[in-house]
């Protein structure tokens, strides 16, 4: 019985404090719902290290574990067309969240260029910020 009263007090305390929290709810599929806009980064390597590396690994070989699979970027033929990885970065795919609210057009261009010319990939055609702008989904204030 003592356990029940302690649990009831804990739930009541949490219900009282939670509405006072200034934080907005995060969306499960949104990288930007928690982080806001990304700070300036000098190049695609910095964007990769800051945003992508934790899932796709430092060597770009991806990872498997804990019920998740993070695809390899190393030697990935899907990167042949620059618009494909740009679209995935902006809109997400599968378990990957979308980063349209987090990354600028230039940051998307930089990171796509980086992954397409590193990790054993040799795709040298470039993407322009205007092309990324055309792919960018329309976001509401709540989405950003």
User: What is the token pair recorded at 103?
Assistant: 């990354």
What are 70's strand-pairing partners? 63
Q: How confident is the model at residue 25 (pLDDT cuts 50, 70, 90)?
A: very low
Region label for 99, one of left (φ > 0), alpha (ψ between -120 and 50) or beta (otherwise): alpha
User: What is the token pair recorded at 18?
Assistant: 């939670």
pTM summary value = 0.71
> Domain residues of the chain, as ranges?
44-135
78-90 residue pLDDT tens: 999 999 999 999 9
Report the distance separating Cα 116 and Cα 138, nearest Å.
26
The answer for residues whose C-beta is within 8 angstroms of residue 109's C-beta and 6 or more apart is 44, 86, 126, 127, 128, 129, 132
* CATH T-level assignment (fold) for domain 44-135: Cytochrome Bc1 Complex; Chain D, domain 2 (1.10.760)
Q: How confident is the model at residue 101 (pLDDT cuts 50, 70, 90)?
A: confident
């Amino acid at each position: 019985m003592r356990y029940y009263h302690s649990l009831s007090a804990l739930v009541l305390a949490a219900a009282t404090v939670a509405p006072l929290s200034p934080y907005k709810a995060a969306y499960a599929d949104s990288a930007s719902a928690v982080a806001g806009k990304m700070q300036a980064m000098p190049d695609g390597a910095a964007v990769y290290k800051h945003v992508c590396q934790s899932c796709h690994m430092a060597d770009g070989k991806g990872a498997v574990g804990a019920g998740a699979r993070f695809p390899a970027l190393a030697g990935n033929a899907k990167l042949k067309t620059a618009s494909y990885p740009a679209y995935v970065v902006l809109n997400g795919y599968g378990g990957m969240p979308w980063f349209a609210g987090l990354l600028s057009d230039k940051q998307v261009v930089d990171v796509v260029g980086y992954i397409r010319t590193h990790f054993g990939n040799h795709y040298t055609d470039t993407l322009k910020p205007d092309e990324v702008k055309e792919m960018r989904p329309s976001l509401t204030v709540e989405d950003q």
